[in-house]
Structure 1
């Protein structure tokens, strides 16, 4: 009887039911879209941080920034004056990024701190290579007529008059980044944020081997391939692997064993960064405080610290989705609940004769209330289905369009975004382009269903309360 009457009443008042369901659908769809876009923002930011840190890295330890005014020496390039104009001259300089290093023993000290599950060191370098040639100019003697016009030989010395024409210098500057990785610990550090797409990665026995893994984008730019060579400060490294960054940007252009990087940079037993994995992600702040206290002269940077340096449209859109978007969703959803409740209550007031008659026929107030709540609940579920459909369509549209957001990575402490010496990071801010997606999780769908049920119950509560107060005499007064 309950279901039969429910189906008949919904069919008879389908327009009013559709209005209530549409209002709830709008609020639910907006919640789904905002939640999915917020999730996409979070994933985009994680992708940016992953490209800097590497998989599994919770924080980095670098040497504290030097005091202001203690500048570092700039690289100098010196060339010989050669008689052969066709001779090409070249020179390169290998510089430690950030110009700040830690002792290799720091890795062990960090690893012994409470709450640290793993730690590994790395050395980040910048290689600047200049090559080209000088070309002498040619002396062009003036004609006699031209010399006479200029007053003849100066001082009667008889020296030929003229000028040097042509000549000059043409040099190319090639700068690329190199990361010295501990080949015995390849499960932590920046190289883990790239996938080997050609060849192989390092083996644990190649601690001092002249081998290299090259980033795919750099290899394409310089026309490098497997088994070819890349030269760093006079040392030739055989390319054994090509890596492709999992995110927008690679940590470095070239990866070589840590010991080789220390040798070419003349930085024996030195590193620039310690990559740390915490035993418990909830204790990262505690581990950070312990390292800073027990290892003075260091800067500890966590992913939360690094996230604060990310600006650009990604940060702006994330803030909007987190604050304005969520508040807008709450406001629209609240309005939808109230409107649904008011419409249901208004519908009850137009059904006074019906409910009064039912009570006169023996229906209890509880049965009338359940009938109203049942109708409102069905309206809420219909609104939930419509809202989920519209929300999924909106999220799919965002993913299909994939709007590009920019993530600007500012420096933190002066050596790169990771507080100095991070692989592949210069002191200047860098900009990455990130494609935004809007993934919809099962949790979001379940939340939408819960909201639909809640909306139906809220609307039913308004109408049920009104219906429970009706008396059979109210119906008689409406009879004409």
Structure 2
């Protein structure tokens, strides 16, 4: 009887049911779109962080920078060239390999960090910067002086003037990252995929091989099988890697031992990447590293995310603040309108409900009937809202608006989800902060719809129907058979 009466009433009052369902659908669709765009913002932000330090980084640890005036200037690169007259204008070149930030940690730090509670794995890396100056000296030409005229001033012949000559030198700079080839799942190289050739194998711990970033390889016209020379040492290119998003962390990747040899930094690392057993333990690992490895500053991925600016940050702010409150306002309005419309519909059905009560229907049964109708309207609104919301999210993904993210110096280090990075002292240029500073990444925005979002939409639809049914049920429960008789009269 309940379902028969329900079906008949919904069919008879199609327009009223559609109005209530449409109002709820609008609010639910907006919630789905905003939630999906917010999830897309989170993914975009993760891609920005991954482009810096590789897939799955949770935090970075750096030693505090030295106070102003205490920087080590003795390690500034010096270039010496032979300017003697060799008879030929030969090209000369000289290069210097420098540790990023001029600061390192002992390799034993990797083991210390790995021993902390909550750490699943740890691996070290060495960031280098190579400066190469090349060019040539050009000899000047001596112009013979004109002989003095007889009787003129300064009789005799002069030595002449030197014309032309000088020096022309160019500077080439590129970054090198020494990676622990035995741990391919950690470190910056994980943010790139081999587009040609291969990456390192565990047996190449001290091999003279290199993997190049695709943009750098294209610029220098290098390919798999070519040789790249770093400080007089030739490395065979075994692979070309393309960054998943943004720029690569380095131009050239080589085995860690080779990087240590080039930089004269035996048993030294600049960064230690750590995989955490559980993302919920990030704060605990951070506290443990700060306590057990003194003189370090720990920066989590959330801290680094706070330094992201640009259109990504602006859009994220709109999605999380304006979008959230707009969704809430629309939902509240939809619920109220649904409740008022249901209550108004009950008022127009006084004769019907009064007659049913006169025939023996209890107030509870009348209330259940009204709530049942409102719940069906709410679920119908949920179906329409889910369809509209998924369609809106798909449209955002199809358009894929490009957002720009700029990482400021404030995030000395970087992260994504699952690792910790420990760096040596030096938030200076080339250190963790140096890599983050001024790093611009273009990200295509997507709006993924999760099952959780769909479940939330169903809950909201049911809640809207129950709220509307509550309004109408309360109104219906107060009706008396006498009200129906007065309407008949």
Q: TM-score, normalised by structure 1?
A: 0.91
Equivalent in 124, 132, 137 of residue 134 of structure 1? 137
Structure 1 residue 184 displacement after superposition: 2.2
Aligned length: 474
Helix, strand or coil at the partner of 1:438: coil
Match of 2:298 in 1: 300
Match of 1:125 in 2: 128
Specify every segment of 5 or more residues in structure 1 that has no aligned partner in the other structure, as ranges.
Answer: none
Structure 1 residue 84 displacement after superposition: 5.5
Contact in 2 for aligned 1:179/1:261 (Cα 8 Å): yes
Query: Is 1:453 aligned to residue 488 of structure 2?
Result: no
Structure 1 residue 180 displacement after superposition: 0.5
Match of 1:54 in 2: 54
Equivalent in 355, 359, 362 of residue 360 of structure 2? 362
Give the 5 Å matches for 1:51-450: 51-73=51-73, 74-81=76-83, 82-83=85-86, 86-136=89-139, 138=141, 158-159=157-158, 164=163, 167-412=165-410, 420=427, 425-426=434-435, 428-450=437-459
Cα distance between partner residues in 2 of 1:349 and 1:85:
106
Structure 1 residue 223 displacement after superposition: 1.4
Cα distance between partner residues in 2 of 1:462 and 1:156:
120
Match of 2:9 in 1: 9
Match of 1:472 in 2: 481
Match of 2:418 in 1: none
The range that moved more, 207-216 or 405-414, is 405-414
Specify every segment of 5 or more residues in structure 2 that has no aligned partner in the other structure, as ranges.
Answer: 416-420
Query: Is 1:29 aligned to residue 51 of structure 2?
Result: no
Helix, strand or coil at the partner of 2:62: strand
The range that moved more, 316-325 or 401-410, is 316-325
Structure 1 residue 163 displacement after superposition: 7.7
Q: What CA RMSD, in Å, does the superposition of the two structures yield over aligned residues?
A: 2.7
Cα distance between partner residues in 2 of 1:374 and 1:250:
58
Structure 1 residue 103 displacement after superposition: 1.2
Helix, strand or coil at the partner of 1:244: strand
Cα distance between partner residues in 1 of 2:433 and 2:179:
13
Q: TM-score, normalised by structure 2?
A: 0.89
Cα distance between partner residues in 2 of 1:13 and 1:270:
78
Cα distance between partner residues in 2 of 1:62 and 1:138:
55
Helix, strand or coil at the partner of 1:98: helix
Structure 1 residue 387 displacement after superposition: 0.7
Cα distance change on mapping 1:157 and 1:433 into 2, 3 Å:
farther
1:115-174 deviations in whole A, cap 9, x for unaligned? 222211110011122223333455678999xx99xxx99866654887835x55443322
